[in-house]
Amino acid sequence: MISPSSIDQVFETARVEEVIGDFVQLKKAGSNFKGLSPFSDERSPSFMVSPVKQIWKDFSTGKGGTAVSFLMEHEHFTYPEAIRYLAKKYNIELEETEQSDEQKEKANERESLYLVSEFANTYFQKVLHKTDQGRSIGLSYFKERGFTEETIKKFDLGYSLNEWQAFTDEALKQGYNIDYLAKTGLTIVKEDKRFDRFKGRVMFPIKSMSGRVLGYGGRILIADKKAAKYVNSPESDIYHKSKVLYGIYHAKQSIAKEDNCYLVEGYTDVIQFHQTGIHNVVSSSGTALTSEQIRLINRLTKNITVLFDGDAAGMRASLRGIDLILEQGMNVKVCTFPEGEDPDSFAKQNTLEELALYLNENAKDFIQFKASILFEDSKNDPIKKAETVRDIVNSIAKIPDRIKKEIYIQECARIMDLSEEVLFSTLAQMDKKEAQDDHKKAPPEQQQAFNVIKNYQEPVQKVDVQYLLERKIIEILLLYGNKTEDFEDLVLKENEKGELILEPIIQQAKVFEKIFLDLQEDEMQFTNAHFKTLYYTIIDRLNQDKNFELKTFVNSVDQDMANEITTILMDDERYALDDWNRMNIFPKQKMNSVGQLVSETILSLRCFLIDLKVKEFQQETLLNKIDSNRNILEEVKDYSSLKMLLSRKLNRVL
């Protein structure tokens, strides 16, 4: 168990914008930050982070909360794991008691898979550095590749003994369940036999963006025609190869900083680049590039540079990956290395300055790259040349941005010495065919022809005034509940003529006390069930905790309530202009007039409820005879007079 004081220290130290910035590229938007949602496939940023309130909100999915809840949502951490992750990030030493065997057994299956993977990571490193076989075979291989001790440790490289059950036996000895060893793929179980999947291989741990070990890649070092050169972990509850990029954990910050990602093919390409000094590089781990992997990069940058070795056949096979990148609306460049060289060997033979210069000078636009590769095949064959042009235009058709499409068509026409009209016509045909294909794939109810409706107007949605006012009260309590303010109270009195008047009295009180007493006095109840629960939860916490802090409170409530809170707090800022001050417009801040904001909100709610009461009386009058409802009419008159007074106080015209 983690001690409460340690948890408090983590909450006080962690900055939500820094934590989320490790996973999502955030850009300044006024006092907040914006970025693409990491929980949905979106093109326009609707993910907001508030450094002031220390919360985040994803408007595309409705999720929201604090730094801890983000880690729980994005990385599927448990609450303690999120705290430990933040403690490690901010170098906070946690006070905690060791888990008992019973507590370990209670851990759910997913967490057990992570525990097994982490144990394996430690074990393989220990074997590499501490055993004769590990040093003579595994460590020697890494040193021959040119990797330094620092690099080997940084990437947690390891070695699996060339023995059938060495790892499995040690894991079982340490108390790990054979079921979880099998589900991670570390151990292969066949009937009553058990043996290590990665026997006699050097190990490359594959990590998530937060650094959790998801799976492994293992390279065999002995000549064995029956064995695959590389073996990866099989799919499991924690490892999905189509959604993972090797090196993303070490590259994420550099990718966001450099606003570019280098994409290579192998593990050693990533490690060698990193050692040379270029850190914004990841690998698809030898598998075909997928949309999920591209979206992972898209959270951090819009720019990808694909690096190929000099193998022309391999480059042609990888062209599909470029089309996938274009479909995601990203910018693609391609860089090839001299024949016989690959990113690993080239980085090893050159300094950082030489490598950076080569990448900068040789990175081509994807059109130039495709043209140079495909024209080699077509040469003087007009039919093949036409197919090549069509292939390139087909790639341009994948781009969602129409302006980019037009620019690329112009560039394509220039490179291939063709008229723009012909290319635009070809592009239009492709777009039309794609639209027809999408139409055919759509459900029958969506395939109906469009009907032209004249003078169609969207139905006007009725504003729920009470909902908005109740929501505003919750927002005020969250932001300013513990603040002491001067309030101008209105006392209803009769003047000398017997008329009702409102007499102002200045009183000092805490915001939450003022709201609670006013609602109690008028017997006003929340009609929205969520707001009602939230209201009493906040009032109770403010009443008990003199040092109420918003981020601590959000972390202490359940996820549904946290989502509700972040929605309320972030909605006001969602459409706020980013540059009021730049235009010499200085809007009045809420903090400067909290007392007035509270009073106006409560008065507005009173006016609204008076309207409801008057309508209720009017309905009652219509249902009965007028002469038998004089008392009702008197009450209507009194309520109308009261509303008149309240409206004057609000400076509103009835």
Strand-pairing partners, residue 220, are 201
Q: How far is it, in rounded angstroms, from Cα 377 to Cα 398?
A: 23
pLDDT recorded at residue 72? 85
| Burial class, 263, CB count within 10 angstroms (exposed 0-12 / middle 13-18 / buried 19+) | buried
Confidence of residue 452 (pLDDT cuts 50, 70, 90): very low
Task: Copy the structure tokens of residue 425.
Answer: 């016509």
pLDDT recorded at residue 580? 47
Contact between residue 188 and residue 165 where contact means Cβ atoms under 8 Å apart: no
What is the SS3 assignment for 579-603? CCHHHCCCCCCHHHHHHHHHHHHHH
Nearest to 252 by CA among 116, 7, 75: 75
Q: pLDDT tens digits, residue range 300-344?
A: 899 999 998 766 555 665 677 888 898 888 899 999 898 888 999
Average confidence (pLDDT) over 75-90: 86
Average confidence (pLDDT) over 119-147: 96
pLDDT recorded at residue 450? 42
Residue with the larger pLDDT of the pair 513 and 76: 513
pLDDT recorded at residue 449? 44
Strand-pairing partners, residue 188, are 195
Residue with the larger pLDDT of the pair 399 and 463: 399
Q: How far is it, in rounded angstroms, from Cα 200 to Cα 161?
A: 5
Q: pLDDT tens digits, residue range 194-210?
A: 999 999 999 999 999 88
Q: What mean pLDDT, rounded, does the chain reach? A: 82
Q: What is the chain's Cα-based Rg?
A: 33
- Overall CATH class of domain 4-89: alpha beta
Q: Angle at the Cα of 265 (from 261 to 269), degrees rounded to 5?
A: 80
pLDDT recorded at residue 363? 92
Q: How far is it, in rounded angstroms, from Cα 186 to Cα 234?
A: 9
- How many C-beta neighbours within 10 Å does residue 628 have? 9
| Burial class, 343, CB count within 10 angstroms (exposed 0-12 / middle 13-18 / buried 19+) | buried
Nearest to 346 by CA among 378, 396, 309, 302: 309
pLDDT recorded at residue 310? 63
Q: How far is it, in rounded angstroms, from Cα 10 to Cα 65?
A: 16
Q: How far is it, in rounded angstroms, from Cα 638 to Cα 634?
A: 6
Q: pLDDT tens digits, residue range 348-367?
A: 999 999 999 999 999 988 88
Q: How far is it, in rounded angstroms, from Cα 15 to Cα 529?
A: 32
Average confidence (pLDDT) over 633-651: 53
| Residue 236 reports pLDDT greater than 80 | yes
Give percent of the chain with pLDDT exceeding 70.
80
Q: pLDDT tens digits, residue range 33-62?
A: 999 998 887 878 889 998 888 889 988 888
Q: How far is it, in rounded angstroms, from Cα 256 to Cα 275?
A: 19
Q: How far is it, in rounded angstroms, from Cα 70 to Cα 210?
A: 12
* Spatial CB neighbours of 152, under 8 Å, sequence gap ≥ 6: 128, 139, 142
pLDDT recorded at residue 115? 92
pLDDT recorded at residue 648? 53
Highest mean pLDDT among 13-17, 156-160, 646-650: 156-160
Q: How far is it, in rounded angstroms, from Cα 569 to Cα 555?
A: 15
Contact between residue 26 and residue 34 where contact means Cβ atoms under 8 Å apart: yes
pLDDT recorded at residue 413? 86
In the chain, helix, strand, coil percent, each to 5?
A: 55, 15, 30
Q: How far is it, in rounded angstroms, from Cα 138 to Cα 217?
A: 14
Confidence of residue 391 (pLDDT cuts 50, 70, 90): confident
Q: pLDDT tens digits, residue range 583-636?
A: 444 445 555 578 888 878 877 887 777 777 667 666 666 556 545 555 545 555
pLDDT recorded at residue 649? 53
Average confidence (pLDDT) over 394-420: 85
CATH homologous superfamily of domain 108-238?
Answer: DNA primase, catalytic core, N-terminal domain (3.90.980.10)
pLDDT recorded at residue 652? 47
3-state secondary structure of 639: helix
Residue with the larger pLDDT of the pair 590 and 425: 425
pLDDT recorded at residue 577? 45
Q: Which residues of 468-492 are buried (b: 16+ CB within 10 A; e: fewer)?
A: ebbbbbbbbbbbbbbeebebeebee
Average confidence (pLDDT) over 11-32: 88
| Residue 653 reports pLDDT greater than 50 | no
> Tokens 């969520």 sit at which residue?
530
Task: Copy the structure tokens of residue 387.
Answer: 């197919």
- Overall CATH class of domain 248-439: alpha beta
Nearest to 482 by CA among 566, 564, 545, 537: 545
Enumerate the CATH 3.90.980.10 domain ranges in the chain, comma separated. Answer: 108-238
Contact between residue 377 and residue 391 where contact means Cβ atoms under 8 Å apart: no
Confidence of residue 443 (pLDDT cuts 50, 70, 90): low
Residue with the larger pLDDT of the pair 231 and 545: 231
Enumerate the CATH 3.40.1360.10 domain ranges in the chain, comma separated. Answer: 248-439
Q: Which residues of 501-515 are buried (b: 16+ CB within 10 A; e: fewer)?
A: eeeeeeeebbbbbbb
pLDDT recorded at residue 277? 96
DSSP string, 127-141: HHHHSHHIIIIIIHH
Contact between residue 541 and residue 512 where contact means Cβ atoms under 8 Å apart: no
Confidence of residue 279 (pLDDT cuts 50, 70, 90): very high
Contact between residue 203 and residue 158 where contact means Cβ atoms under 8 Å apart: yes
Strand-pairing partners, residue 216, are 205
Enumerate the CATH 3.90.580.10 domain ranges in the chain, comma separated. Answer: 4-89
Nearest to 158 by CA among 182, 179, 170, 142: 142
| Residue 460 reports pLDDT greater than 50 | yes
DSSP string, 260-297: -EEEESSHHHHHHHHHHT---EEE-TTSPP-HHHHHHH
Distances (CA, A) of 387 to 368, 377, 379, 384, 393: 16, 11, 12, 5, 10
